[in-house]
Amino acid sequence: MKGHIQITKYGDYEMAQHFLLSPAAKTLSLAKVLRMSDDQASQAFAKLRWADTDGEPVCPECGCLEHYNLKSRPVWKCKGCGKQFSITSGTIFHSRKLSLRDILGAIAIFVNGAKGYSALQLSRDLCCDYKAAFVLLHKLREAIGLARDEGALSGNVEVDGAYFGGYVKPANRREDRKDRRRKIHQSGKRQVVIAMRETKGRTRTGVVSNEAEGVALTRANVQAGATVHADEAAHWDKLAAHFPIKRINHQKAYSQDGANTNAAESFFSRIRRAEIGTHHHVAGKYLAAYATEMAWREDARRTANGSQFAMIVSAAAIAPKSDAWSGYWQKKRQA
């Protein structure tokens, strides 16, 4: 496989085939996940949550392995501290309402959405309330974000920024139209996503009010000694005091003398397709979560969907209870 294109041979002929079309990319069967019984779904989740004990429950409060099985409810009682706990207690799915089978099915559907997956579509697929689907997807994004902290970027790192979120409707008559790039026409929902991307490596993102703030973000997330690639914008000049830097003037070329930001631009293409084609609207305060999700999708684009499914279930199983999303709609009503 070269890049994300692999060569498939048919008789005496060879054809280039995109990775997503190859058999190696498709190792997850949504039908099998949704055909699971509740017990099978619980066993699958337990083996990923408690991998060190091969699925045997471990008290999230004290770490004790000894417990009682309660016959009245599908929970355990710890012999050490006396606390009762379920298979999702202390995880990001704490106090869940959906069955584990539906949650695993939702994760499988989410994984297969190459350009993201909307809460409205998930609510229709699972025949559940939109609010439940909205919170579930954001819990998955939070779990992904917690699992992706892998340290500073190194090697060749491309840096760029682009506006996302919010919307300024174009006026009908040309003389009434507004330049949406100007600060006076920006809303709090429209912010800049800064993409920092290793050449053929990891992608890190941050959300700031303007691209100039990406300088501090780059210094915080890029390892000393890494070579930074940036465009001609003047604010990136400050990076030269901290990193070896290569600049590309997009007025003249997309790539020149070994300098380019093509990988960062490719990431922006992915997130823009997700915003416009899948979600249609991204509120400003959630933009960082969507950017994190799309960074994970970009980095895992050559990973089989079965492996992606296991990655997200494992991330969700070890992620703690979410302060932001536990009781989200109840907190909104009280605000």
* Residue 13: per-residue pLDDT: 54
By the 8 A CB rule, do 155 and 317 touch?
Answer: no
* Residue 335: per-residue pLDDT: 62
Q: Provide the whole-model pTM.
A: 0.88
pLDDT in tens, 28-41: 999 999 999 999 99
DSSP for 166-219 reads ---PPPSSGGG---TTSGGG--TT-EEEEEEEETTS-EEEEEESSGGGHHHHHH
pLDDT at residue 153 is higher than 80: yes
By the 8 A CB rule, do 124 and 195 touch?
Answer: no
pLDDT at residue 1 is higher than 70: no
Which is more confidently placed, 332 or 217?
A: 217
Q: What percent of the chain has pLDDT over 70?
A: 92
pLDDT at residue 24 is higher than 90: no
pLDDT in tens, 8-19: 554 555 556 788
User: Which CA distances in Å does 49 have to 57, 70, 223, 281, 292?
Assistant: 9, 20, 32, 34, 23
pLDDT in tens, 113-131: 989 999 999 999 999 999 9
Averaged pLDDT score across all residues of the chain: 90
By the 8 A CB rule, do 199 and 263 touch?
Answer: yes
Which is more confidently placed, 228 or 331?
A: 228
pLDDT in tens, 68-99: 999 888 899 999 999 999 999 999 999 888 99
* Residue 2: per-residue pLDDT: 43
Show the CA angle centred on residue 318, arms to residues 316 and 323, nearest 5°.
75
What is the residue type of 215?
V
Which is more confidently placed, 5 or 16?
A: 16
Pairing of β 67-69 and β 76-78: antiparallel
